[in-house]
Structure 1
């Protein structure tokens, strides 16, 4: 049997070693949220609210009904019962590799008719898509269709001679719906 004092003295260096190893784990994380500069954890896109673009805001005119505004801009993110004449369209997006965005559009109604739309500095649809794109634009559009020469170069599928030419469906007989008189 080992005396208890000797066991405590032998365990102290192991405890210090374990604590120093655990403390070093935090230093392995770099400032870019990846492990050892190689492994990056998955980060989800967080999108909340309605995207309102310049094109949509241009379609909304004073005097429109609530239904017409809803058809163009969508349902508001906030429709407060204490401010029934105000609809707030708030949009936020956080995406890895892009700057977080936040925009707010306010529709103010008077007697169920749009009085004004406060929409400061909205992007166009193209600007919005470019701002959330995480891919680097190469300037060259991808090829979406094959040319006639490429279609001719494709291998032909093998014909199966044993298969019937006309597809045959299931043959069923049903009893008459009404009894014969």
Structure 2
């Protein structure tokens, strides 16, 4: 048995199909329509957009991909990208590959139940010996409420 660790997905997913649409000379606005808002933009590098994606999942190697788009005069001048998956390949990586073991039995056998002491039977209260009723009024929530 191992502790559960959540999948950590961060960044922008850029697929091979999206990258195939981009062309040198394409306007900045159309590039943003294709790729979405970049994860990283810099005041110091206004002509550069970085799309970074990471996926960390228990039981598999972490994935990290980066696409950088460079602009000159508001059009794409250069594109640098890691090896990207197709949309189908990316979706298939999102499916859980966790192999669940057999589900334990939630019922006890008669022999297992005999190991425990028999439950005590509740005794009926003796007449005339009743406990006082619980208070039904509560102190005020605000000071000076009385």
Q: TM tier, shorter chain?
A: 0.5 to 0.7
Query: Which one scores higher on RCO, CA 8 angstroms, separation ≥ 6?
Result: 2
**CA-atom RMSD, angstroms?**
1.5
Moved >3 Å (runs of 4+): none
- Give the match for residue 104 of structure 1: 66
Say how many residue pairs are matched: 98
For structure 1, the 5+ residue unaligned runs are 1-37, 137-181
- 3-state DSSP of counterpart to 1:56: helix
CA deviation vs aligned residue, 1:122-160 (integer Å, no higher than 9, x gap): 111122222333237xxxxxxxxxxxxxxxxxxxxxxxx
- Give the match for residue 7 of structure 2: 45
2:89 to 127, 130, 146: 127
For structure 2, the 5+ residue unaligned runs are 99-146
1:45 and 1:95 in contact (8 A); partners too: yes
Q: Separation in 2 of the partners of 1:53 and 1:45?
A: 20
Residues 4-43 of structure 1: pairs in structure 2 closer than 5 A: 38=1, 40-43=2-5
Query: Displacement, 1:42?
Result: 2.7
1:80 to 31, 36, 42: 42
CA deviation vs aligned residue, 1:23-57 (integer Å, no higher than 9, x gap): xxxxxxxxxxxxxxx3x333121111101110000
Q: Separation in 2 of the partners of 1:76 and 1:96?
A: 27
Q: Separation in 2 of the partners of 1:107 and 1:115?
A: 8
TM-score by length of 2: 0.62
- 3-state DSSP of counterpart to 1:87: strand
1:98 and 1:132 in contact (8 A); partners too: no
More strand by share: 2
